[in-house]
């Protein structure tokens, strides 16, 4: 116990130690602040990705998949069917607003008959932009949002002409 008190007295008597304490404390404060800011941004971006995937899943569930052209028997025709290119632009708009640059999405299978399941997945890369200033190297994370829906559209194969 006496040794600890002696060591503490020696440290206290040294000039400039307070400055070192302040520098270390500020570094820790900035590190924690950067982490919390990055977690907030990560949460916001995941919320946008989740919203985009919910919209994608709802659409492919209603129309029985995602094709490059409207099926022949689809109610409402081209006006009511969302094609792959239209969905690409919808998802790109949401991702641009959220600041997500690298992303991909899949719809499996592309075409499902009534009662069959369709799985939609959106995957995006996220870089811990503030925290990576303190930690050497690129600190990246992958955000994945997955939804499963049931197809509500019944394809009529007797008059179905395909794409």
Q: Where are the domains of the chain?
A: 2-150
Residue 155, phi then psi, degrees to nearest 5:
-75, 140
- Decide: 81 and 70 in contact? Cβ < 8 Å: yes
Compute the radius of gyration of the chain from its Cα atoms: 27
- Decide: 77 and 70 in contact? Cβ < 8 Å: yes
Give DSSP secondary structure letters for 23-35: HHHHHHHHHHHHH
Residue 152, phi then psi, degrees to nearest 5:
-105, 0
Predicted local confidence at residue 120, as pLDDT: 96
pLDDT by residue for the chain (163 residues), tens digit each?
677 776 667 666 666 667 778 888 898 998 899 889 988 988 898 999 999 999 999 999 999 889 998 887 788 888 889 999 999 999 999 999 988 889 999 999 988 888 899 999 999 988 887 777 777 777 788 889 999 999 988 877 665 555 5
- Predicted model pTM: 0.75
Dist CA 97 CA 91 (whole Å): 10
**Helices marked H in the chain:** 2-13, 17-63, 84-98
């Amino acid at each position: 116990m006496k040794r600890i008190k002696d060591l503490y007295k020696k440290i206290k008597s040294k000039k400039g130690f307070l400055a070192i304490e302040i520098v270390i404390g500020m570094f820790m404060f900035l590190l924690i602040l950067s982490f919390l800011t990055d977690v907030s941004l990560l949460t916001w971006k995941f919320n946008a990705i989740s919203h985009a995937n919910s919209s994608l899943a709802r659409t492919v569930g209603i129309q029985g998949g995602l094709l490059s052209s409207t099926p022949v028997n689809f109610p409402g025709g081209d006006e009511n069917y969302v094609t792959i290119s239209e969905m690409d632009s919808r998802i790109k708009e949401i991702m641009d607003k959220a600041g997500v640059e690298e992303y991909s999405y899949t719809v499996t299978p592309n075409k499902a008959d009534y009662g069959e399941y369709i799985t939609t997945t959106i995957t995006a890369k996220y870089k811990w932009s503030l925290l990576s200033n303190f930690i050497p190297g690129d600190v990246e994370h992958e955000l994945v949002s997955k939804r499963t829906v049931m197809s509500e559209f019944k394809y009529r194969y007797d008059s179905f002409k395909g794409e």
